[in-house]
Amino acid sequence: MIQLLPIGNRAVIVTGMTDPTAWASALGKHLAARGSDAVFMIPAAETVLVACASATALAQLSPMIHSVPASVTSPTAPAVLVEIPVVYDGEDLSEIAQKTGLSPAQVAALHSEASYTVAFCGFAPGFAYLRGLPSMLQLPRRLTPRAQVPAGAVAVASEYTAVYPTASPGGWNLLGTTSVTLFDGSADEPALLHPGDRVRFVPVSSLLERPTGRPRPHAWGQQAFTVTAPGIASSIQDGGRSGHGDIGVSPSGMVDPLLGGAINRFVGNRPDAALIETCGGVAIRADHTLIVSSSETLAPSVVPAGKTFHVAGGSGRRWHYLAIRGGILAEQALGSSSTDTLSGLGPPPLTAGQTFAVGPDTGGLVADVAPVPTMRRNVRISVGPRLDWFASDAFAILTAGEYAVTQSSRVGVRLVGPRLSRVQHGELPSEGLVRGAIQVVPSGELVMMLSDHPTTGGYPVVAVVHPDDVATVAQLDVVTFVTNG
């Protein structure tokens, strides 16, 4: 029976279907027949995330969601076989052997002799969840996720095995390495693996050198400015690349789109034009006269050729913006120039010496005043789809105390404060995530998803931050949650 679990006010986790990928495809055909293209879906292990542009659109979609039979399945088709060479040298191989009572060689043999099928894609671009893992290797995720898992790591968690396409955070158990390219954003068919494909891991003693990727030019057209100091966590960002979650591509885009949009308006750009996002310390030198604005000046400025413009950062905000009239021209991937720090899509993070061009002057009005968002410590949250995994007082505890930001990146924000008591301790099958979703990791800390968040995750979402307040959590050091509505 189909059930809807709200995950914020613009999306639901749909449960109860036999085949999530087939069910999502059936709903997609219904939507196409109606000419609707503003609904995004992410099939996962047992559920489908359905997201809309607004709460009103989601309410209107609800009857159609219920009309798709839970039992719909995909027609049988010949499966593609993909062979992936693996050196079984993973960081956790000895620990896996100890937990299973096998030798490392036996673990490698057991893993490589099995036949796998791609169940669904998610988490990161090209990350495919493979079913068929032998029961002896079905280990829970690590208690504390690693901050960085290397690209090409072959890993196991719960009933799945997978390959990390790019370096990223992750909590799976690492047993080997491959050099195969799982995702290429410049290719006509970016992902190597698709639902239904068969996969076999082939043990090898050495690997081909991992491709370093194509050269990335830094300017198109007339050079407009040069980066003289890259600053902290500085990158090119625009309105993002939403709608590709089904192949594991996060929405990316500005961490604080309201602030970035305001800074763009000061120089007459569209709110979603490409600009520089930074945590401070970035500086550019104008190669010809530029009109610029920043979240420090909050006004347009003229920078003559040869002069430098600097954004120091601070001032009560973590994330700042530097916009240039015409918008920055930079490498695009899937229709966006946003740098995705989780997958590596888009232009590389800023480095000293990079040069960029800007777009043509479209004649937009330069603004002396723009609606710059104010920050408040009270952050609105709504109930998450897996609140029932925690004690009955969990939501009351969330809204009764302060939470401090201990780690922050474009991927997510780690929060420490009053702990929640978990009553369901099993592994949650991976399911879709939205920006602002608050997961509870095994250590008990909260992690709020940000712009470059994984598209699926296996930690329970206890609450969801209101879309207009997500940037507040990213910008401040301490926040207080309040009930939305």
pLDDT score at 143: 80
Whether 335 and 424 share a structural domain: no
Question: Among the three residues 203, 234, 269, which one is the final residue of a domain in this structure?
Answer: 203
- Tell me whether residue 382 is in a domain: yes
* pLDDT tens readout for residues 160-202: 999 999 888 888 999 999 999 998 877 778 889 988 899 999 9
* pLDDT tens readout for residues 376-420: 789 999 999 999 999 999 999 999 989 999 999 999 999 999 999
- Tell me whether residue 56 is in a domain: yes
pLDDT score at 440: 94
- What's the CATH code of the domain at 42? 3.30.1360.40
Percent of the chain with pLDDT over 70: 95
- Tell me whether residue 236 is in a domain: yes
Confidence band (pLDDT; 50, 70, 90) for 36? Answer: low
The answer to whether 382 and 6 are in contact (CB under 8 A) is yes
Whether 253 and 317 share a structural domain: yes
Whether 239 and 131 share a structural domain: no
Helix, strand, or coil (residue 109): helix
Whether 96 and 197 share a structural domain: yes
Question: Among the three residues 67, 89, 116, which one is the final residue of a domain in this structure?
Answer: 67
Whether 238 and 329 share a structural domain: yes
pLDDT score at 319: 97
Whether 477 and 454 share a structural domain: yes
Whether 278 and 349 share a structural domain: yes
* pLDDT tens readout for residues 275-319: 999 999 999 999 999 999 999 999 999 999 999 999 999 888 999
- Tell me whether residue 174 is in a domain: yes
* pLDDT tens readout for residues 359-374: 988 777 777 766 777 7
The domain of 118 spans 81-203
pLDDT score at 79: 75
Whether 291 and 343 share a structural domain: yes
* pLDDT tens readout for residues 55-113: 898 998 999 999 999 998 876 666 789 999 999 999 999 999 999 999 999 999 999 99
Number of domains comprising the chain: 4
In the predicted structure, residue 432 carries a pLDDT above the cut 90: yes
- Tell me whether residue 75 is in a domain: no
Higher model confidence: residue 124 or residue 237? 237
- The 8 Å CB, 24+ separation contacts for 423-427 are 423/389, 423/390, 423/391, 424/388, 424/389, 424/390, 424/460, 427/140, 427/141, 427/158, 427/458
Whether 350 and 304 share a structural domain: yes
Higher model confidence: residue 39 or residue 260? 260
Confidence band (pLDDT; 50, 70, 90) for 221? Answer: low
Whether 241 and 138 share a structural domain: no
- Tell me whether residue 450 is in a domain: yes
Whether 354 and 391 share a structural domain: no
Question: Among the three residues 67, 94, 120, which one is the final residue of a domain in this structure?
Answer: 67
pLDDT score at 479: 94
Burial track 278-299 (b if 16+ CB lie within 10 A, e otherwise): bbbbbbbbbbeebbbbbbbeee
Whether 168 and 233 share a structural domain: no
Quote the CA–CA distance of 454 and 349 in Å, as a whole number: 19
The answer to whether 7 and 464 are in contact (CB under 8 A) is yes
- Tell me whether residue 54 is in a domain: yes
- What's the CATH code of the domain at 150? 2.40.100.10
pLDDT score at 78: 66
* pLDDT tens readout for residues 138-165: 998 888 888 889 999 999 998 999 999 9
- Tell me whether residue 369 is in a domain: no
